[in-house]
């Protein structure tokens, strides 16, 4: 189940990143940024759902969090793109990308868990 979730998450990441980048011509890596923030929101929702009792089985939780979200989000691409920004001397985009990714990623995860408490 984790492998299938990872496959679906990876394909979704590729398609989402390409779609976002096609509409944002910039040195800023919007595609990976959007994917990682959305992935954080999703993992927060999935963990919140799994904490609400029997809403998600342990198998579905692993499929959605470790599999899908693990394949959908990407820390290695995040690190690589930050290195590219630094090598290009694009320090403002580097600072924005690194700091906003961490801050908004954590906030999105928190928001995802809060959404499930309201439902």
62-104 pLDDT, tens digit each: 999 999 999 999 999 999 999 999 999 999 999 999 999 999 9
What distance, in Å, lies between the first and last C-alpha atoms of the chain? 26
What does pTM read for this prediction? 0.90
Using alpha carbons, list the distances in angstroms from residue 68 to 11, 71, 73, 83.
10, 5, 9, 26
More confident residue, 87 or 56: 87
pLDDT at 50: 87
The angle formed by the CA atoms of residues 5, 84 and 15, to the nearest 5 degrees, is: 30
pLDDT higher than threshold 90 for residue 55: no
- Average pLDDT on 17-32 reads 93
CA–CA distance, 2 with 16 (Å, rounded to integer): 20
pLDDT at 85: 97
Confidence of residue 25 (pLDDT cuts 50, 70, 90): confident
pLDDT at 65: 94
Q: Provide, rounded to the nearest whole percent, the portion of the chain with pLDDT above 70.
A: 100
CB hemisphere CA count around 117 (13 angstroms): 6
Taking a C-beta distance cutoff of 8 angstroms, is the pair 69, 9 a contact?
A: yes
pLDDT at 75: 93
pLDDT at 52: 82
Instruction: Write down how long the chain is.
Output: 119
């Amino acid at each position: 189940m984790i492998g299938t979730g990872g496959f679906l998450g990876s394909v979704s990441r590729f398609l989402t990143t390409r779609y976002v980048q096609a509409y944002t011509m910039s040195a800023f890596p919007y595609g990976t940024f959007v994917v990682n923030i959305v992935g954080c929101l999703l993992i927060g929702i999935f963990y919140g759902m799994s904490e609400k009792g029997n809403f998600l089985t342990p198998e579905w939780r692993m499929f959605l969090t470790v599999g899908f979200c693990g394949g959908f989000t990407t820390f290695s691409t995040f690190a690589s793109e930050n290195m590219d920004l630094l090598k290009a001397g694009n320090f403002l985009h580097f600072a924005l990308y690194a700091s906003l990714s961490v801050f908004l990623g954590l906030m999105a995860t928190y928001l995802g868990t809060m959404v499930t408490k309201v439902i």
